[in-house]
Structure 1
Amino acid sequence: MTRQLLTIFLVLVTLSSTMGKTEKQAAVKKEKRVPQTLSRGWGDQLIWAQTYEEALFWARSQNKPLMVIFHLDDCPHSQSLKKAFAEDKEIQKLADEDFILLNLVYETTDKHLSPDGQYVPRILFVDPSMTVRADITGRYSNRMYAYEPSDLKLMLSNMQRAKKFLKTEL
């Protein structure tokens, strides 16, 4: 009799420990992060280019301006601008309809994309003629292409300006 009770006890202990592991594995699976998209949180519903070269090709072939966003994942300024950018419906709509989009967490070899230095967050516009729009700047004289969440109206205005190309012959 004691042998049967001992066997039943061992079976129950084994089952409970197995169930505990399954529950823990399910909890770990729920905690896993969603795979990173090319948007990196700047607008998951938008279409983003993967590389600068691809973005230039799309801009030229679709005759749309390119918006290049330089940022870092661990930069608090980049994070706050990203959140404001992603939540602004008007900017998201304009970006979706009228721009080729690229966000980079690294610098490119094109020095035209860092006319006043390499810092983040930095947003530059490029014509379909592949002309970097150095004339479209933010409000800061020491970081000419930087924006803050409070600068979204200026960014929207600059996006409208970027739609008017410098060179129309393509």
Structure 2
Amino acid sequence: MQSNLFVCCLLLLCAALGEAATRKPKKQAAPDASSKADPEPTEASATQAKTLSRGWGDSIQWAQTYEEALAKARDLRKPLMVIHHLEDCPFSQALKKAFATDDLAQKLAREDFVMLNVVHPVPDENQSPDGHYVPRVMFVDPSMTVRTDLAGRYSNRLYAYEAGDIPELITNMKKARILLKTEL
């Protein structure tokens, strides 16, 4: 009972962090003349990921933005896999580690998909059909159709995957390779 409560609390925390990431930051006042021209980097900027992989797989070619990923998917006629996550979410961290160490998931991602991982919400509301929780994995066909038919095993978070769900994610990756029969 306590472990279920703990898991629920962690999920709520991750959902709250995801909602907080969707809010627009407040504008800061313009620096005055007495401030330094080149301020020292903050700890947050010093610890940011140096690559677009953010730890999800350095051998994978990652798109930088959602718009770029959609264009690549259309041009290459490959499905797009979008991983929504947060750097400080324990569920996101566990899924990232499981995904990055699974050879088949890495091979499929590298060869058969346009890949994008995002820590900020994308402008397409179709990417959050049942909420802004993380981690969430969505697939988009080259015809720009979000594949809502490719869901995980949780009825209350359809597109959520946990570290132990890599086999299910791989199954959905294989299904996503079969493109929809729509005009491109």
**TM bin (shorter chain):** 0.7 to 0.9
| CA positional deviation for 1:169 | 2.3
Aligned equivalents of 2:140, 2:80: Cα separation in 1: 5
Structure with more of its chain in helix, by fraction: 1
**Which one has the largest radius of gyration?**
1
Q: What is the alpha-carbon root mean square deviation over aligned residues?
A: 1.3
Asked if 1:113 corresponds to 2:127, the answer is: yes
| CA positional deviation for 1:45 | 1.1
- With normalisation by structure 2, the TM-score equals 0.73
Q: 1:40 aligns with which of 30, 40, 54?
A: 54
Asked if 1:79 corresponds to 2:93, the answer is: yes
Q: 1:57 aligns with which of 68, 71, 96?
A: 71
Question: In the TM superposition, what whole-angstrom CA distance separates every residue of 1:98-149 from its partner, at most 9, and x where no partner exists?
Answer: 0000000010111000000101000000000000000000000000000011
Counterpart position of 1:130: 144
Aligned equivalents of 1:143, 1:162: Cα separation in 2: 19
Identity across aligned pairs (percent)?
63
Counterpart position of 1:153: 167
| CA positional deviation for 1:36 | 1.5
Q: 1:34 to 1:45 in 2, by over 3 A?
A: farther
Find the residue that maps to 2:172 and give its secondary structure: helix
Counterpart position of 2:111: 97
| CA positional deviation for 1:165 | 1.3
Aligned equivalents of 2:171, 2:183: Cα separation in 1: 24
Aligned equivalents of 2:48, 2:157: Cα separation in 1: 33
Residues 53-62 or 160-169, more deviating:
160-169
| CA positional deviation for 1:168 | 4.0
Q: Which amino acid aligns with 2:56?
A: W
Find the residue that maps to 1:129 and give its secondary structure: coil
Structure 2 alignment gaps of length 5 or more:
1-45
Q: Which amino acid aligns with 1:117?
A: G
Aligned equivalents of 1:141, 1:57: Cα separation in 2: 31
